[in-house]
Structure 1
Amino acid sequence: MRDALRGMIERLVRDDQGNRFAENGAPYFTEPLVGFASADDPLFTQYKSVIGTFHLTPAELAQREIPPWQPATVICWALPVSEETRRGNRAETTYPSRAWAQTRQHGEAFNASLRRQVVQFLVDAGYRAFAPQLHPAWREYPDSPVGIASSWSERHAAYAAGLGTFSLNDALITPRGIAHRLGSVVTDLAIEPTERPWSDHRSNCLWYREGSCGACIGRCPVGALTREGHDKGICRGYVYGAVPEAVGERYGVTSTGCGLCQTKVPCEDRIPAGKVSPLAGNPAAGASPAP
């Protein structure tokens, strides 16, 4: 089933027409990364301290199903944004490119469909499953102690599943880079977890690994990024307010994203090389990530 699930996700990303620009048929996303985490991984409990008590574990979400059941695995994926779309966004300095904005809206609609299709695949095979992002218990908390947060973080689930580590801008740097969309499904199918090979929860970011880079700081047009990290409030106000107001109608979307700090940076499509290896080998390995 592990191989079957990976193959199904790869096939849908490759063949599903939902993953295509309407005007030219080019894909929003390229070949996905897929990882698996144990539903009872201690990280999911730690996230209640890192993110907030409102953040729900896989077991807490499954207990809200009718009837309740015990989850075994969290299936996670990263959908890398296409090279063509990333290239266009590199040239932008204030607002995202049209292709980036369409990927944010229509590509994320495909991602939601992918979640539903993975759930249905598991149900048809005799297992129970749900997508946390689409669960009735999902909530957003705009004024939490860590800023804007929600009852399920796709980024933190992907970290638990070994797909990458966090960056200065709070996004996840995977082996295919930082420009992507994430998804997850919880199931009672037991699958061996993916190894987390990183030295710590920020080791793929050159800034945290060795104090170099910081390229994403200069890419932010509103100063939401500094050496101290990511100001979620400033970022959200721009991405969900100023940007759609400025270009949403022209691009034909209501959700635009931004992505400037995820393009024209060394981690755009890879884990950047540096003087220090990002791989495990020090006592910080597996440390609980920041919100």
Structure 2
Amino acid sequence: MRDTLCRMIMSFVGEERGNRFPGDDAPYFAEPLIGFAAADDPLFTQYKAVIGSFHLTPTELAREETPPWQPATVICWALPISEETRRGNRAETTYPSRAWALTREHGEAFNAALRRQVVRFLVDAGHHAFAPQLHPAWREYPDSPVGIASSWSERHAAYAAGLGTFSLNDALITPRGIAHRLGSVVTDLAIEPSKRPWSDHRSNCLWYREGSCGACIGRCPVGALSREGHDKGICRGYVYGAVPAAVGERYGVHCTGCGLCQTKVPCEDRIPVGKVSPLAARLGEES
């Protein structure tokens, strides 16, 4: 069932028309990365301390279902943004490229369609399933102790599923890089969890791993990034306020994203090696 599910996700991303630019055959996203986490992984409980008590575990979300049921697995994926779109965004210094903005709005609509497709596939196979991002219990908390947050974090779910680790700009660095969209579905289908082959939750980021890089700091046009991390308030004001106001109408979208700190950086499309690779760092700790 795991292999059949993965093939379905791969096929949907590769063939579905929604993963195409308007009037073009070029895709928003390349081949996805897929990972699995146990629904009862202690990380999901720990996130209540890391993110906030409002962050819901898979079990808490499943209890909101009618009737309630017991989840077994969190299915996660990363949709890498196409190389052509990333290349165009590298050249930008103030606002995102049009292709990046279209990927943020229409590509994320495709990501939502993928969530619904995975749920439908599992339900048709006789299982319970839901997408946390589309769940009625999903809430956003703009003034939480960690800044803007929500009751389900796709990034933290993806980390639990072994898809990557966190970066200085709060994004997730996967084996295919930091420029992507994430999604997840919770189900009662039991699937063996993916391994987390990292030394710690930040080991893919050169800044945290060895104190080098910091390229994303210089890519931010409004100073939302520094050696101390990511100022979510400044970032959100720019991404959801200033950028759409400046280019949204011209690009024909409401949500533009930004992505400057996710392009023209060493982790754009890979885990940067640096002086010590993440795997070598882990092997060193275990020896």
- The answer on whether the counterparts of 1:199 and 1:282 sit within 8 Å (CA) in structure 2 is no
**Deviation of the 1:226 alpha carbon:** 0.1
- The answer on whether the counterparts of 1:36 and 1:161 sit within 8 Å (CA) in structure 2 is yes
Paired residue secondary structure (1:239): helix
Give 1:140's aligned residue.
Answer: 140
Stretches of structure 1 lacking an aligned partner (at least 5 in a row): 285-291
Paired residue secondary structure (1:71): coil
Distance 1:267 1:277 in 2: 13
What are the equivalent positions in structure 2 for 1:161-180 lying under 5 Å apart?
161-180=161-180
Give 1:160's aligned residue.
Answer: 160
Distance 1:38 1:75 in 2: 9
Distance 2:252 2:180 in 1: 21
Give 2:278's aligned residue.
Answer: 278
**Deviation of the 1:23 alpha carbon:** 2.2
RMSD of aligned residue pairs (Cα, Å): 0.9
Residues 1:65 and 2:65 are matched in the alignment: yes
- The answer on whether the counterparts of 1:100 and 1:258 sit within 8 Å (CA) in structure 2 is yes
**In percent, how many aligned pairs have the same letter?**
85
Stretches of structure 2 lacking an aligned partner (at least 5 in a row): none
What's the CA shift string for 1:268-287, capped at 9, x where partnerless? 00000111121234669xxx
Normalising by the residue count of structure 1, what TM-score does the alignment of the two structures yield? 0.97
Distance 2:176 2:71 in 1: 29
Distance 1:23 1:213 in 2: 39
- The alpha-carbon distance between structure 1 residues 53 and 218, as it changes in their structure 2 partners (threshold 3 A), is same
Give 2:235's aligned residue.
Answer: 235
Paired residue secondary structure (1:61): helix
Paired residue secondary structure (2:59): helix
Paired residue secondary structure (2:278): coil
Distance 1:144 1:40 in 2: 25
Normalising by the residue count of structure 2, what TM-score does the alignment of the two structures yield? 0.98
Distance 2:103 2:23 in 1: 13
Equivalences, count: 284
- Runs (4+) of structure 1 exceeding 4 A deviation are none
Give 2:187's aligned residue.
Answer: 187
**Deviation of the 1:239 alpha carbon:** 0.2
- After TM superposition, the structure 1 stretch with the greater mean CA deviation from structure 2, 271-280 or 89-98, is 271-280
Give 1:226's aligned residue.
Answer: 226
Distance 1:23 1:120 in 2: 28
Give 1:289's aligned residue.
Answer: none
Q: Which amino acid aligns with 2:39?
A: A
Give 1:150's aligned residue.
Answer: 150
**Deviation of the 1:25 alpha carbon:** 1.7
Larger helix percent = 2
